[in-house]
């Protein structure tokens, strides 16, 4: 009746998951009670949960990512603590079967449920505004994409309360992940959660490629698009091309586990090397999916805070597309030590280095953007410069790893772990924090506190270096990754420094929360009155903060590169705004509960598949199909915003702009 | 005021345009954007099938001492099911023509025939699968058979989903007529159905034809 | 949103940079004589050399770039009225050529190193030597290492004994899941995969005891897969091999089945006799093993055997 779900699944005899589960349930309960008491459910339902507004969906993605950052970081600090304690005779406080779940969950959560949603959240919020349009091409599908991602989050976290998580690392290599060697539910939680959220991700890609290529403001040709839109395009093209491979690979493993197929098994002719190839054909483009939008954020931040256009715009576009294409040609560098032979290894090694060329060009272009500028060191600029210093070292270690004979001695070691954290934290996380600070006022109408923001930056910068520089050393000393127990006591000082670094990062995360709460409480001191607090150069700064639901009363007419900047300079010089346009009523898509209901059925089906409750799985599938049919029967797709409202909002914006015209300029 | 269906993707008013090349007229209309997005989805589905083809190619000789391609495939059956599927696509095309002319009876008729031919295809495929499993050549027998059943079965699963979608479309057209948004969905459906044909051509070439070479 | 105290910013940056630099230097200086940076064989020595050369080449580019980044950011800060503001300067063909050329040339150089190095240090390539190689067959089990010496007719667990100055030619496989055979001071690691054979060639130039491990996660008992490499002078090696014959335990079918039961942190042991063709049987999947797939999957799988002291 309940498949393999029994009372054994609840971790009564494991204190850490048990207590964590209780705390999380209590916390969720407390939040639910509070929301009920302030009668906020209807607001949440109408303004966020069923919203088809790209801005609201973007905010939801980022909230999801920040919450999961706490979970992923908790896993990290637990691992650091274990490695500091479990040396020599001591086994630490985490037995292997628990430690192995923690490092697997850490990687899975950080990549799929922190970095991806955070990046997608920014693309959601920013791209339509920068393109000068009202929403993405498929707003309802956008809502569905978000909730499917949330479904994946739910399932991964459910593994803490019921059953266990995978113990195979974040990529689940067979044969270890096959039924024979991982008979429990852990790998199934991993596979099902990723399959469900993977569907959401591919739909996002369809949405954004269509939006960027087919819906832009009048006059915005390709070479007038902001660089963040170019990098979002490249990233979404990568998602479109790479995620189906992930779907297939995980599906093949599921077929092995559920139906006894022989894709990757030791017997029956299965070939585990095939999994390695397939998963990394997805895996390498995945990291570029994350870093390209990050590069886009840096381009926006550096040019805005230098008071100059981005240096070498066309070169940057070309470099972005080159990275996009090249990222599909390098996957074998993840397994040079599999024994493919000298020619194959060398070719892939050289291909991997080639990606360093366009990346290097970007660094120099950012440098020359600052050159001749008037650089303002607000928080986002701290992250940008911190990135430029940190990421190039990560690139160096990456090129080292791309040389097969070097990889032969540091593959899978703590050197590798330090490398990828350096490029992900120095590259992606710093960009996310910069973007968070940079676009926060646009989303909420006030800026975040600068001093706390700088403190957060220093925690990340110093904490990162302390946490990972020792790992490079240990990697050279022969320390491999994923060790629950440390054999050599002389490694202890380095691991302890690393622990301190992780703790400082933790402080940074705490301060981020403090900064948010403090900034909300004191928001009146830092109101974004004009909508352009940073002297911005792209179209999102044309609107008030937050923008109206429909973004622009009239889609801006784009006449050259940096449309908003030119328009602003002209207005300041001539001391007047452009002529008032002819306002029209605006059609906007309706809200819809389809996303959350579909995700509900997907979660039910997923849960049932994990626990072998077949009748429930079928019910879940039927429910998902039923909601699709119900949605298809909808007759009204849009509502109309009356012209009086549009005109009133627009005139208010024009009045404020005219009044504060000279405050907009900060570089002079 | 523009109608719901012909309005551009999201509400638009614009003035002025210079010829700057692509994008100068502002956001494209829904009748362009929707099929464009659907084509992108089809492309991603093609990537999905390529991964399955690559898997099949890697494992086609991993028979673990079990049955090989030559022993298993019946060219006659494959020919019939191919014919059924291709005919089904052709008839779907006819349905699109009569739908453009808003002819309810003929449209539903052609769509019904599309579905029936699709069902013929599926039945033959299921029969073939059943026969192989009965002979001990099921997907659990070897890696080659796992990849065969998955590649061909995935296509069959897409056909099944297509039939469910077809039923929904027929019901929608019946109750709501040839409204613009319904027509867009029908267009997407037919793109999907034709794309499945393309995949099938690849499958019967790579799997069945090459597999039954002497 | 007012400007920060910009005169403080550069000194904060400088201090942070100097501190980090000093710490980094300290870290790297003390790391120099261990693990892969202390090679005891020709393979590891060449790999270390490539590592150092490549790092030096890249540092020559990266250090000036990092200095330039800080210098430009500091000089062109808004409060510096001496810096020229060129708000329309956004392109220069000459600079473009240079910024594409610098990484391209660097990569060409490193690419050459990668090509030559990959071929010179291909794991399956036998080492040049006047001495005939020692053959060792390696099997990774859950969670220990089995070393079979086909020419000597003996086997060891978690201890690899080799003659110093003699190349060792490995055939490797796994009885269960993937692992990776790695002796950092000897150089190149290679995966061990079930039903497949990988090949590796290494040499220990001088006698000594060196650490070995598995560098590919293989399950709950993974941390207990450390092993010891003993390089003996050739005459002593011959003595050892003869003495090993005297061990009563034999690695026959039953012995292998016993050995393949899950266990971790296994103490080194020696087998006096090995069933002929055992390695090939393991590769073919025909060797008797007691780690069988479980019929009914439990909600949580059982943990590995807890480590002995």
At A156, which CATH number? 1.20.210.10
For residue A347, give every residue at least 6 positions away whose Cβ sits within 8 Å of its Cβ, in sequence order, or none. Answer: none
Enumerate the residues of chain C whose CB falls inside 8 A of the CB of residue A348.
none
Q: What is the ipTM of this complex?
A: 0.95
Asked if residue C160 has pLDDT above 80, the reply is yes
Using the Cβ of C82 and the Cβ atoms of chain A, whether some distance falls under 8 Å is answered with no
Query: Confidence class of residue B17 from pLDDT cuts 50, 70 and 90?
Result: very low
Q: Kindly report the length of chain C.
A: 309
Q: Test C124 with A341 for CB contact under 8 angstroms.
A: yes
Domains: count for chain B: 1
Query: Confidence class of residue C15 from pLDDT cuts 50, 70 and 90?
Result: low
Asked if residue C114 has pLDDT above 70, the reply is yes
| Cα–Cα distance measured from residue B175 to residue B155, given in angstroms and rounded to the nearest whole number | 30
| Nearest partner of A250 among B48, C59, B119, judged by Cα | B48
For residue A271, give every residue at least 6 positions away whose Cβ sits within 8 Å of its Cβ, in sequence order, or none. Answer: A263, A264, B58, B59, B62, B143
Interval B23-57: pLDDT, tens: 668 899 999 999 999 999 999 999 999 999 999 99
Q: Could you say which DSSP state residue B8 is in?
A: B
CA distances from A315 to A360, A362, C93, C95 (A): 12, 8, 10, 11
Residue A665: its pLDDT value, please?
86
Q: Test B10 with A206 for CB contact under 8 angstroms.
A: no
Q: In chain C, which among 127-186 make CB contacts under 8 A with chain A? A: 176-178, 180, 182, 184-185
Ranges of residues in chain A whose predicted pLDDT is under 70: 667-668
Token pair for C185? 């001071």
Give me the residue from C117, C219, C223 closest to A405, CB to CB: C117
Query: Measured between CA atoms, how close is B107 to chain A, in angstroms?
Result: 19
Residue A563: its pLDDT value, please?
87
Pairing of β C144-149 and β C134-141 = antiparallel
Note whether A44 and A13 are same-domain residues: no
| Cα–Cα distance measured from residue A225 to residue A655, given in angstroms and rounded to the nearest whole number | 28
Peptide bond into A175 cis (omega under 30): yes
* Domain-embedded: residue A600: no
Average pLDDT over chain C reads 88
Note whether A16 and A133 are same-domain residues: no
Q: Test A218 with B24 for CB contact under 8 angstroms.
A: yes
Average pLDDT over chain B reads 90
**For A52, what's the count of Cα atoms within 13 Å in the CB-facing half-sphere?**
23
Cα-to-chain-centroid distance, residue C87: 50
Note whether A5 and A144 are same-domain residues: no
* Domain-embedded: residue A567: yes
If DSSP codes are grouped into helix, strand and coil, which group holds residue C196?
coil
Residue B10: its pLDDT value, please?
44
Using the Cβ of A388 and the Cβ atoms of chain C, whether some distance falls under 8 Å is answered with yes
Active site residue A530: no
Active site residue A211: yes
Active site residue A100: no
| Cα–Cα distance measured from residue A89 to residue A29, given in angstroms and rounded to the nearest whole number | 42
Residue B117: its pLDDT value, please?
98
Burial of C60 (0-12, 13-18, 19+ CB in 10 A): exposed
Residue A99: its pLDDT value, please?
97
Using the Cβ of C117 and the Cβ atoms of chain A, whether some distance falls under 8 Å is answered with yes
Burial of C82 (0-12, 13-18, 19+ CB in 10 A): exposed
Note whether A56 and A34 are same-domain residues: no
Treating both helix axes as pointing N-terminal to C-terminal, what angle do C93-120 and C42-75 enclose, rounded to 10 degrees? 170
Which entry of A68, A79, A141, A276 is annotated as an active-site residue? Answer: A79
Give the number of A-C residue pairs with CB atoms closer than 8 Å.
Answer: 352
Range of the domain at B150: 30-212
Using the Cβ of C309 and the Cβ atoms of chain A, whether some distance falls under 8 Å is answered with yes
Nearest 5°: the CA angle C197, C203, C209 is: 105
Active site residue A286: yes
Note whether A29 and A84 are same-domain residues: no
Note whether A6 and A150 are same-domain residues: no
Query: Confidence class of residue C11 from pLDDT cuts 50, 70 and 90?
Result: low
Which entry of A73, A99, A103, A436 is annotated as an active-site residue? Answer: A103
Note whether A28 and A102 are same-domain residues: no
Residue B5: its pLDDT value, please?
37
Are A584 and B13 in contact by the 8 Å Cβ rule? The answer is yes
**Maximum CA extent, chain A:** 79
| Cα–Cα distance measured from residue A177 to residue A167, given in angstroms and rounded to the nearest whole number | 8
Token pair for A458? 């220093």
Q: In chain A, which among 20-59 make CB contacts under 8 A with chain C? A: none
* Domain-embedded: residue A445: yes
CATH for B89: 1.20.120.80
Q: pTM score > 0.80 for this model?
A: yes
Asked if residue C23 has pLDDT above 90, the reply is no
Active site residue A262: no
Asked if residue C306 has pLDDT above 80, the reply is no
Enumerate the residues of chain A whose CB falls inside 8 A of the CB of residue C70.
385, 389
Q: Kindly report the length of chain B.
A: 214
* Domain-embedded: residue A268: yes
Asked if residue C295 has pLDDT above 50, the reply is no
Give me the residue from A359, A409, A483 closest to C184, CB to CB: A409
Q: Test A96 with C303 for CB contact under 8 angstroms.
A: yes
Enumerate the residues of chain A whose CB falls inside 8 A of the CB of residue C71.
none
Please tell me the least confidently modeled range out of B19-28, B171-180, C184-193: B19-28
CA distances from C2 to A381, A663, A666 (A): 14, 12, 9
Query: Confidence class of residue C25 from pLDDT cuts 50, 70 and 90?
Result: low
Interval C198-214: pLDDT, tens: 999 999 999 999 999 99
| Cα–Cα distance measured from residue A495 to residue A82, given in angstroms and rounded to the nearest whole number | 10
Q: Kindly report the length of chain A.
A: 668
Minimal-distance CA residue of chain B relative to A275 = B55
Phi and psi, residue B63, nearest 5°: -95, -5
Give me the residue from A138, A278, A582 closest to B51, CB to CB: A278
Count CB neighbours of A506 within 10 A.
Answer: 18
* Domain-embedded: residue B20: no
Query: Measured between CA atoms, how close is A328 to chain B, in angstroms?
Result: 13
Please tell me the least confidently modeled range out of B75-79, C25-29, C124-128, C282-286: C25-29
Q: Test C299 with A402 for CB contact under 8 angstroms.
A: no
Token pair for A459? 């925690």
| Cα–Cα distance measured from residue B92 to residue B107, given in angstroms and rounded to the nearest whole number | 9
| Nearest partner of A174 among B34, C195, C96, B200, judged by Cα | C195
* Domain-embedded: residue B4: no
Query: Confidence class of residue B18 from pLDDT cuts 50, 70 and 90?
Result: very low
Q: Could you say which DSSP state residue A169 is in?
A: T
* Domain-embedded: residue B191: yes
| Nearest partner of C134 among C148, C158, C151, C113, judged by Cα | C151
Asked if residue C79 has pLDDT above 90, the reply is yes
Pairing of β C144-149 and β C154-157 = antiparallel
Give me the residue from C28, C47, C196 closest to A409, CB to CB: C47
Q: Is the dihedral of CA C226, A410, A177, A164 positive or negative?
A: positive
Asked if residue B177 has pLDDT above 80, the reply is yes
For residue A20, give every residue at least 6 positions away whose Cβ sits within 8 Å of its Cβ, in sequence order, or none. Answer: A160
Burial of A93 (0-12, 13-18, 19+ CB in 10 A): middle
Give me the residue from A133, A259, A632 closest to B168, CB to CB: A632
Using the Cβ of C191 and the Cβ atoms of chain A, whether some distance falls under 8 Å is answered with yes
| Cα–Cα distance measured from residue A418 to residue A464, given in angstroms and rounded to the nearest whole number | 10
Active site residue A71: yes
Using the Cβ of C119 and the Cβ atoms of chain A, whether some distance falls under 8 Å is answered with yes
Pairing of β C154-157 and β C269-271 = antiparallel
Range of the domain at A15: 1-39
Token pair for A616? 């429930």
Q: What H or E segment, with its residue span, contains residue A231?
A: helix A227-259
Give me the residue from A206, A213, A269 closest to B64, CB to CB: A269
For residue A138, give every residue at least 6 positions away whose Cβ sits within 8 Å of its Cβ, in sequence order, or none. Answer: A203, A206, A207, A210, B37
* Domain-embedded: residue B146: yes
For residue A215, give every residue at least 6 positions away whose Cβ sits within 8 Å of its Cβ, in sequence order, or none. Answer: A131, A133, A136, A137, B8, B9, B10, B27, B28, B33
Note whether A360 and A461 are same-domain residues: yes
Which entry of A134, A308, A362, A653 is annotated as an active-site residue? Answer: A362
Q: Could you say which DSSP state residue A223 is in?
A: G
Query: Measured between CA atoms, how close is C40 to chain A, in angstroms?
Result: 13
Active site residue A231: no
| Cα–Cα distance measured from residue B148 to residue B203, given in angstroms and rounded to the nearest whole number | 10
Note whether A274 and A406 are same-domain residues: yes
Give me the residue from B21, B63, B172 closest to A269, CB to CB: B63
Note whether A124 and A261 are same-domain residues: yes
| Cα–Cα distance measured from residue A189 to residue A543, given in angstroms and rounded to the nearest whole number | 43
Identify the chains in contact with B, defined as 3+ C-beta pairs within 8 A.
A
Give the number of A-B residue pairs with CB atoms closer than 8 Å.
Answer: 195
Are B207 and B128 in contact by the 8 Å Cβ rule? The answer is no
**For C153, what's the count of Cα atoms within 13 Å in the CB-facing half-sphere?**
7
Mutation pick from C35, C171, C292, C303 vs chain A, by most beta carbons of A within 10 Å, is C35
Residue B9: its pLDDT value, please?
45
Note whether A66 and A172 are same-domain residues: yes
Active site residue A575: no
CA distances from A642 to A574, A585, C109 (A): 32, 5, 65
| Nearest partner of B147 among C227, A265, A220, judged by Cα | A265
Enumerate the residues of chain A whose CB falls inside 8 A of the CB of residue B64.
262, 267-269
* Domain-embedded: residue A263: yes
Cα-to-chain-centroid distance, residue C22: 28
Active site residue A420: yes
Nearest 5°: the CA angle A402, A403, A405 is: 135
Phi and psi, residue C302, nearest 5°: -65, 155
Which entry of A54, A98, A257, A419 is annotated as an active-site residue? Answer: A419
Query: Confidence class of residue C305 from pLDDT cuts 50, 70 and 90?
Result: very low
| Nearest partner of A75 among A32, A20, A148, judged by Cα | A20
Enumerate the residues of chain C whose CB falls inside 8 A of the CB of residue A4.
297, 299
Q: Test A372 with C118 for CB contact under 8 angstroms.
A: no
Token pair for C51? 């590592």
Asked if residue B6 has pLDDT above 60, the reply is no
Residue C217: its pLDDT value, please?
98
Token pair for B60? 């086609």
| Cα–Cα distance measured from residue A52 to residue B11, given in angstroms and rounded to the nearest whole number | 14
Average pLDDT over residues B158-182: 96
User: How would you label B25-50 residue by residue, b for 16+ Cβ within 10 Å and e otherwise?
Assistant: bbbbbbbebbbbbbebbbbbbbbbbb
* Domain-embedded: residue A597: no
Domains: count for chain A: 2
Interval B104-121: pLDDT, tens: 999 999 999 999 999 999
How many percent of chain C have pLDDT more than 90? 81
Phi and psi, residue A205, nearest 5°: -65, -45
Average pLDDT over residues B149-158: 98
Which entry of A165, A275, A288, A607 is annotated as an active-site residue? Answer: A288
Nearest 5°: the CA angle A187, A192, A194 is: 95
* Domain-embedded: residue B11: no
| Cα–Cα distance measured from residue A464 to residue A148, given in angstroms and rounded to the nearest whole number | 32
* Domain-embedded: residue B23: no
Name the one residue in this structure whose structure tokens are 């978000």: A146
Q: Test A247 with B48 for CB contact under 8 angstroms.
A: yes
Could you give the dihedral angle defined by the CA atoms of residues C116, C117, C120 and C124, in that order, rounded to the nearest 10 degrees? -130
Query: Measured between CA atoms, how close is A595 to chain C, in angstroms?
Result: 31
Note whether A478 and A460 are same-domain residues: yes
If DSSP codes are grouped into helix, strand and coil, which group holds residue A530?
coil
Q: Do chains C and A touch (3 or more CB pairs under 8 A)?
A: yes
């Amino acid at each position: 009746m309940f498949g393999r779900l029994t009372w054994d699944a609840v971790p009564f005899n494991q204190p850490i998951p048990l207590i964590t589960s209780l705390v999380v349930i209590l916390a969720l309960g407390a939040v639910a009670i509070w929301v009920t008491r302030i009668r906020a459910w209807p607001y949440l339902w109408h303004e966020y949960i069923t919203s088809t507004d790209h801005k609201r969906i973007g905010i939801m993605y980022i909230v999801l990512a920040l919450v999961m950052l706490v979970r992923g970081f908790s896993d990290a600090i637990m691992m650091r603590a274990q490695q500091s304690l479990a040396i020599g005779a001591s086994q630490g406080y985490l037995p292997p079967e628990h430690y192995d779940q923690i490092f697997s969950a850490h990687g899975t959560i950080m990549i799929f449920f922190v970095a991806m949603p955070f990046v997608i959240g920014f693309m959601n919020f920013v791209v339509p505004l920068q393109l000068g349009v009202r929403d993405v091409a498929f707003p309802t599908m956008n809502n569905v994409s978000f909730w499917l991602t949330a479904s994946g989050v739910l399932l991964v976290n459910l593994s803490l309360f019921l059953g266990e998580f995978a113990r195979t690392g974040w990529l689940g290599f067979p044969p270890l992940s096959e039924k024979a060697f991982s008979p429990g539910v852990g790998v199934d939680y991993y596979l099902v959660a990723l399959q469900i959220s993977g569907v959401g991700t591919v739909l996002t890609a369809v949405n954004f490629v269509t939006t960027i290529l087919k819906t832009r403001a009048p006059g915005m040709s390709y070479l007038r698009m902001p660089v963040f839109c170019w990098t979002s395009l490249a990233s979404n093209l990568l998602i479109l091309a790479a995620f189906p491979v992930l779907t297939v690979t995980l599906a093949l493993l599921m077929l092995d586990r559920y139906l006894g197929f022989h894709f990757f098994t030791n017997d029956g002719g299965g070939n585990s090397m095939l999994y390695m190839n397939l998963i990394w054909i997805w895996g390498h483009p995945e990291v570029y999916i994350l870093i390209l939008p990050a590069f886009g954020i840096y381009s926006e931040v550096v040019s805005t805070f230098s008071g100059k256009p981005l240096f070498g715009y066309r070169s940057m576009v070309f470099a972005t597309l080159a990275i996009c294409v090249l990222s599909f040609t390098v996957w074998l560098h993840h397994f040079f030590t599999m024994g493919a032979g000298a020619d194959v290894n060398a070719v892939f090694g050289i291909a991997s280095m080639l990606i360093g060329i366009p990346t290097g060009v970007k660094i120099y272009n950012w440098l020359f953007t600052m050159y001749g500028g008037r650089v303002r060191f607000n928080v986002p600029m701290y992250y940008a410069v911190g990135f430029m210093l940190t990421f190039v070292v990560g690139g160096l270690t990456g090129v080292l790893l791309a040389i097969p004979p070097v990889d032969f001695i540091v593959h899978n070691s703590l050197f590798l772990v330090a490398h990828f954290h350096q490029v992900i934290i120095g590259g992606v996380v710093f960009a996310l924090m910069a973007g968070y600070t940079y676009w926060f006022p646009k989303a909420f109408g006030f800026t975040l506190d600068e001093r706390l923001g700088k403190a957060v930056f220093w925690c990340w910068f110093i904490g990162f270096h302390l946490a990972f520089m020792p790992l490079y050393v240990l990697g050279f000393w022969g320390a491999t990754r994923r060790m629950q127990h440390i054999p050599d006591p002389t490694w202890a000082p380095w691991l302890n420094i690393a622990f301190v670094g992780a703790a400082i990062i933790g402080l940074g995360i705490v301060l981020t929360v403090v900064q948010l709460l403090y900034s909300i409480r004191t928001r009146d001191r830092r109101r974004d009155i004009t909508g352009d607090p940073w002297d911005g150069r792209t179209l999102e700064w044309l609107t008030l903060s937050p923008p109206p639901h429909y973004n622009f009363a009239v889609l801006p007419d784009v006449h050259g590169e940096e449309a908003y900047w030119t328009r602003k300079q002209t207005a300041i010089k001539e001391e007047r705004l452009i002529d008032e346009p002819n306002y029209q009523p605006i059609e906007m898509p309706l809200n819809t509960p389809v996303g959350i209901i579909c995700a509900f059925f997907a979660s039910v089906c997923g849960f049932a598949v994990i626990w072998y409750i077949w009748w429930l799985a079928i019910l879940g599938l039927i429910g998902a199909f039923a909601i699709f049919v119900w949605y298809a029967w909808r007759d009204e797709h849009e509502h109309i915003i009356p012209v009086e409202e549009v005109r009133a909002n627009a005139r208010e914006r024009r009045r404020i702009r005219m009044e504060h015209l000279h405050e907009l300029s900060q570089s002079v | 005021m523009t109608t719901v269906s012909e309005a551009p993707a999201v509400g638009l008013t614009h003035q002025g345009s210079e010829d700057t090349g692509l994008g100068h007229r502002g956001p494209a209309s829904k009748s362009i954007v929707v099929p464009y997005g659907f084509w992108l989805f089809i492309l991603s589905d093609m990537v999905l099938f390529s991964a399955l083809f690559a898997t099949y190619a890697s494992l086609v000789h991993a028979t673990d001492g079990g049955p090989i391609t030559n022993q298993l495939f019946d060219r006659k059956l494959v020919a019939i099911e191919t014919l059924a599927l291709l005919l089904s696509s052709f008839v779907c095309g006819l349905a699109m023509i009569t739908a453009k002319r808003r002819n309810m009876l003929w449209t539903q008729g052609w769509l019904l025939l599309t579905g029936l031919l699709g069902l013929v295809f599926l039945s033959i495929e299921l029969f073939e699968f059943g026969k192989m499993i009965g002979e001990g050549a099921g997907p659990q027998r070897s890696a080659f058979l796992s990849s065969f059943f998955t590649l061909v079965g995935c296509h069959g699963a897409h056909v099944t989903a297509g039939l469910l979608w077809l039923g929904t479309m027929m019901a929608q057209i019946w109750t709501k007529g040839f409204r613009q948004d319904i027509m867009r969905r029908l267009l997407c459906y037919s793109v999907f159905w034709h794309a499945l044909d393309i995949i099938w051509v690849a499958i019967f070439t790579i799997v069945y034809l090459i597999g039954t070479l002497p | 949103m007012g400007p920060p105290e910009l005169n403080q910013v550069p000194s904060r940056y400088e201090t942070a940079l100097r501190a980090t630099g000093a710490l980094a230097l300290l870290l790297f200086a003390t790391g120099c004589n261990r693990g892969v940076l202390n090679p005891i064989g020709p393979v590891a020595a060449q790999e270390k050399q490539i590592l150092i050369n490549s790092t030096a080449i890249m540092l020559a580019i990266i250090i000036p770039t990092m200095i330039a980044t800080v210098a430009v950011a500091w000089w062109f800060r808004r409060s510096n009225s001496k810096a020229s503001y060129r708000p329309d300067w956004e392109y220069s063909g000459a600079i473009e050529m240079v910024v594409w050329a610098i990484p391209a040339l660097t990569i060409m150089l490193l690419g050459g190193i990668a090509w030559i190095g990959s071929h010179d240090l291909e794991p399956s390539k036998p080492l040049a030597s006047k001495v005939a190689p020692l053959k060792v067959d390696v099997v990774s089990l859950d969670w220990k290492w089995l070393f079979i010496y086909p020419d000597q007719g003996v086997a060891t667990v978690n201890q690899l004994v080799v003659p110093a100055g003699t190349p060792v030619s490995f055939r490797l496989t796994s009885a269960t899941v993937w692992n990776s055979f790695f002796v950092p001071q000897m150089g190149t690691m290679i995966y061990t995969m079930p039903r497949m054979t990988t090949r590796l060639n290494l040499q220990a130039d001088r006698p000594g005891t060196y650490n070995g491990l598995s560098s590919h996660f293989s399950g709950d008992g993974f941390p207990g897969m450390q092993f010891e490499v003993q390089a003996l002078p050739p005459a002593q090696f011959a003595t050892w091999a003869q003495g090993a014959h005297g061990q009563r335990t034999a690695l026959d079918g039953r012995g292998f089945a016993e050995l393949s039961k899950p266990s971790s942190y296994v103490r080194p042991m020696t087998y006096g006799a090995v069933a002929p063709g055992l390695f090939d049987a393991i590769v073919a999947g025909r060797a008797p093993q007691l780690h069988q797939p479980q019929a009914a999957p439990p909600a949580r799988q059982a943990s590995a055997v807890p480590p002995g002291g």
